[in-house]
Amino acid sequence: MTRPKAVCLSILGTGSDVGKSIVATALCRIFRQRGYRVAPFKAQNMSNNSYITREGGEMGRAQVVQAEAAGVEPHVDMNPVLLKPNTDIGSQVVVHGKVIGNRNAKDYYKSTEALFQKSLESLERLRDNYDLIIMEGAGSCGEVNLRSRDFVNFKIANAVGAPVILVGDINRGGVFAQIIGTLAVIPPEDKSAVKGVIINRFRGHAELFQDGIQYIEEQTQLPVYGLVHQFENIEIDSEDGVPLDAVTDPKEPLTKDRINIAVLRLPHISNYTDFAPLEKESNVTLHYLKRIRDLYDYDLVIIPGSKNTRSDLQWLKDTGWAAQLVEYARDGGHLGGICGGYQILGTRIHDPLGVEGEVGESIGLGLLEIETTLEERKTLSRSKGIFLENQEQVEGYEIHMGITRGQRNFQPLIQVQSQNEESKNHFDGVRSYDGKIWGTYFHGLFDSPGLRRKLLNKVQPNILPSDATPSTENWGDFKDRQYDLLAVHFEKHLDIDAISQLLDLRDLEKNIPLM
């Protein structure tokens, strides 16, 4: 018997950051809990916050989060096209997990038909292996000037006959204009695909908005499937850097009874989710810093990953951060670098092919005796190894376009044992002889509770008792709990039975897949 194609549901928005990703994540978890094989899908993502799949492909973090919520292994088919901005007008283009080159926006949007076909191929492969696909759109689905080139919203939804639920954000104001206005500007064939509305981020008493719901339903002739209340205590990884705004350059003073960590918020910061486990530690204060300030009250300063390392290195010099970091390190401060931050800590970054702009080289901070040469080939791997200083197991992923070689006066940081499940035996990263300055290509360094504990005790041994663990919970287990909480919250505020009826899921065989 031939397996039926998966049913698709498209979650589109009235604008950017109205909550499409979180609605899709919640639906992935809810329908997974109801016994369906669910997969997320977004035809094109734009984000520097990416992830490496088990097969060694690169994809956007939003669909990784949704895959985790659905209880399935992330795959590049869930995000077939990824744009990683590296200049104000250009991006690196990743298709089916592999880099195909850099494009400026003008050239990229001349024709998107080939990328639409690649995305459709991915979607059809997912439909062959799952019961339900939760599709997510991008930005506003009502951008009339972009419609002919937009394949992320209605074009891909219409191609598979997916009903559309339109999400509006009441917290930003103007939700009536958002919803009714969007429906007014889209063409009839797109409007006919919209089957309902979700109003997101509501605050206050729901009964006071019943007349608002009635007005929307009368004006649109569509059901409002839910008035979703804003939540505060459920922690889900976000798609991009927006949440960093709330914790950048805080004014509150640091206290000596905590481990104080600073992460520099580079202009092209990438993979800032490396530091999410640190934010959850009860003994840690984590600050993202953009404006130059005194660093001496911080126990550890980290230079994060960057999508344009040479540009961000120049920014450090222009703002005065470079001199501040060198002084901090030479006075005995603990300073780490991950990926692009690792390269910045070295003596030179060579760019003979113009990978990040003009051909040339940049002089690094000179705090580690290493040199990096940028190459067109991109290293993409899920990696495992041993953190040599404390012999803790470390597991992470690598995304970089540079080869870094040590010169002298360094110790290797990690002995790599496998990449993409193939046995390896080489070193990654370096550290100074006193261990206070270090750099690595491993993203996800702080996910492991054991290694995280030892790294925290290294920078400030007087805060945590030697027999205490900062957090005994595995980071994956923590995230899994958050997805359950998210599902409970959304089931309280959405009419899931009505959405199920819209999708006609009754006859599908239920089978929960294992991760």
Active site residue 443: yes
CA dist 234 and 484 (Å) reads 10
- Number of residues written out for the chain: 515
Per 3-state DSSP, what percentage of the chain is helix, strand, and coil (rounded to 5)? 30, 30, 35
Tokens 């990263």 identify what position?
429
CA dist 85 and 1 (Å) reads 45
The distance from CA 212 to its chain's CA centroid, rounded to whole angstroms, is 34
CA dist 49 and 31 (Å) reads 26
Query: Is the separation of the CB atoms in 80 and 118 below 8 Å?
Result: yes
Does residue 174 come out as left (phi exceeding 0), alpha (psi in the -120 to 50 range) or beta?
left
Indicate the residue type of 4. P
Active site residue 426: no
Give me the catalytic one of 339, 400, 489, 493: 339
Residue 227: closest CA among 502, 489, 501, 500: 489
Give me the catalytic one of 400, 443, 489, 493: 443
The DSSP bridge partners found for residue 164 are 10, 194
Strands, DSSP E only, in 164-218? 164-169, 194-202
Query: Is the separation of the CB atoms in 72 and 65 below 8 Å?
Result: no
Residue 20: closest CA among 142, 166, 171, 156: 166
Tokens of 406: 């040590």
End-to-end CA distance of the chain: 26
Q: Is 331 exposed, middle or buried (0-12, 13-18, 19+ CB in 10 A)?
A: exposed
The DSSP bridge partners found for residue 418 are 384, 423
Active site amino acids: 339, 443
